[in-house]
Amino acid sequence: MSASKVYFTNFRATFTENLLQKLARLVKKAGMLEQIDFKNQYTAIKIHFGEPGNLAYLRPNYSKVIVDLIKEQGGKVFLTDCNTLYVGGRKNALDHLDSAYTNGYNPFTTGCHLLIADGLKGTDDILVPIDGEYVKEAKIGRAIMDADIFISLSHFKGHESTGFGGALKNIGMGCGSRAGKLEMHNATSPFVLTDKCVGCGACKRNCAHDAISIAEKKASIAPDKCAGCGRCIGVCPVDAVANHCDESNDILNKKIAEYSLAVLKDRPHFHISLVVDVSPYCDCHAENDAAIIPNVGMFASFDPVALDMACADAVNRQPAIPGCILDEREHCHHDHFTDIHPETNWKVALEHGLGTVPIILTKTTKGNTLFPSF
């Protein structure tokens, strides 16, 4: 198996080159503009716009660098994400866009439009056949699958279920519609919180499988009829439909890998990850705990698996920042992410479906003191 190239530059700036210019130089060096023909091609840049209250998300300035490079090549580019399964600031497209605007993402700061890929209520998706071990048809946001070219721009951080969140998490979980996220996170059907339910019948009217009934002004879902489409979650006006999130962490990681394959197959793709403000938990939280390691740098590759491996290795080579949660944990796993979340195994996703590959790491910065092993 041939090795995949991952390109790296640190966060040191000079009087003649700032970090945004370094990012542009990184993706050029990695070959994105040479190996992908963007002219007149719809290009989706998958990014996490940030949950309101969480300040660890990537600044929109980074996305504008990539947007401008693609537009210079004649590409028709947009930033995108799918709605969330949980109740928060990004549950529907209107709230999602409001959250993006709050965090500084808009056409003026990024140079392109923002599209919520699975529509108003998270139900606008496309079924992508992959015949995986766990996923037979991935449910992907329509706007993402309508794009000719796919680019991921990821904030690399820890995650309480998958170990870390990087390129695969951004692609696989992030591009899943509400039904897709429901499939990845759950082994069972959604259920109704009866204390919240007002018996309005919106869920029943939107269920295409006759799985929902109303009795004594309370809804209930029949698991044997439920197809897991997630429409009931999206349409409930009082957030009374919930999910168990009861899938095992290992199977969750494998489903994410299979969903990533569904997103990437049969079209050009490229991936960028920034190892900065590495918080211990997912950016979907409405808060962010202190970073666990010093900022490392920016990574880019055509191979998302190799990219995640390189980023994880880079994090594990760094010391814990004094006073952070990693500093407080016992270091017995020889892995920062497992030390923080011992019930997770991030290697599962990288070894499943897309496969692991050897890495050739290429630096675009000389004299790197933050990452001396490379």
The residue range of the domain holding 218 is 188-243
Contact status, residue 52 vs residue 286, Cβ threshold 8 Å = yes
Question: What residue type is 325 in one-letter code?
Answer: I
pLDDT (0 to 100) of residue 351: 86
Q: Give the total number of structural domains in the chain.
A: 2
**Environment class of 361 (CB within 10 Å of its CB; exposed 0-12, middle 13-18, buried 19+):** buried
Establish if 91 belongs to a structural domain: yes
Establish if 372 belongs to a structural domain: no
Q: Over its length of 374 residues, how does the chain's per-residue pLDDT go in tens digits?
A: 578 899 999 999 999 999 999 999 999 999 999 999 999 999 999 999 999 999 999 999 999 999 999 999 999 999 999 999 988 899 999 999 999 999 999 999 999 999 999 999 999 999 999 989 999 999 999 999 999 999 999 999 999 999 999 999 999 999 999 999 999 999 889 999 999 999 999 999 999 999 999 999 999 999 999 988 888 988 899 999 999 999 999 999 999 999 999 999 999 999 999 999 999 999 999 999 999 999 999 999 999 999 999 999 999 999 999 999 999 998 888 899 999 999 999 999 888 866 556 677 787 654 443 433 33
**Looking at the structure, do residues 59 and 121 belong to the same domain, yes or no?**
yes
* Nearest one of 322, 300, 323, 320 to 24, comparing CA atoms: 300
**Looking at the structure, do residues 227 and 323 belong to the same domain, yes or no?**
no
Where among 243, 278, 310 does a domain terminate?
A: 243
**Looking at the structure, do residues 14 and 120 belong to the same domain, yes or no?**
yes
Any residues with CB less than 8 A from the CB of 313 and at least 6 apart, and which?
Answer: none
**Looking at the structure, do residues 268 and 319 belong to the same domain, yes or no?**
yes
**Looking at the structure, do residues 205 and 323 belong to the same domain, yes or no?**
no
pLDDT (0 to 100) of residue 354: 65
pLDDT (0 to 100) of residue 370: 40
Residue 320: left if φ>0, alpha if ψ -120 to 50, beta else—which one?
beta
**Environment class of 218 (CB within 10 Å of its CB; exposed 0-12, middle 13-18, buried 19+):** middle
**Looking at the structure, do residues 24 and 128 belong to the same domain, yes or no?**
yes
pLDDT (0 to 100) of residue 234: 85
Establish if 290 belongs to a structural domain: yes
**Looking at the structure, do residues 39 and 170 belong to the same domain, yes or no?**
yes
Establish if 136 belongs to a structural domain: yes
**Looking at the structure, do residues 254 and 173 belong to the same domain, yes or no?**
yes
Instruction: Tell me how long the chain is.
Output: 374
Q: In angstroms, what CA-CA distances link 238 with 188, 203, 262, 344, 372?
A: 22, 11, 33, 33, 52
**Looking at the structure, do residues 28 and 135 belong to the same domain, yes or no?**
yes
**Looking at the structure, do residues 144 and 290 belong to the same domain, yes or no?**
yes
**Looking at the structure, do residues 176 and 294 belong to the same domain, yes or no?**
yes
Establish if 44 belongs to a structural domain: yes
Q: What single DSSP character describes residue 188? A: S
Establish if 311 belongs to a structural domain: yes
pLDDT (0 to 100) of residue 231: 87
Establish if 374 belongs to a structural domain: no
The CATH code of the domain that includes 215 is: 3.30.70.20
**Looking at the structure, do residues 65 and 200 belong to the same domain, yes or no?**
no
Where among 243, 266, 290 does a domain terminate?
A: 243
Establish if 368 belongs to a structural domain: no
The CATH code of the domain that includes 32 is: 3.40.50
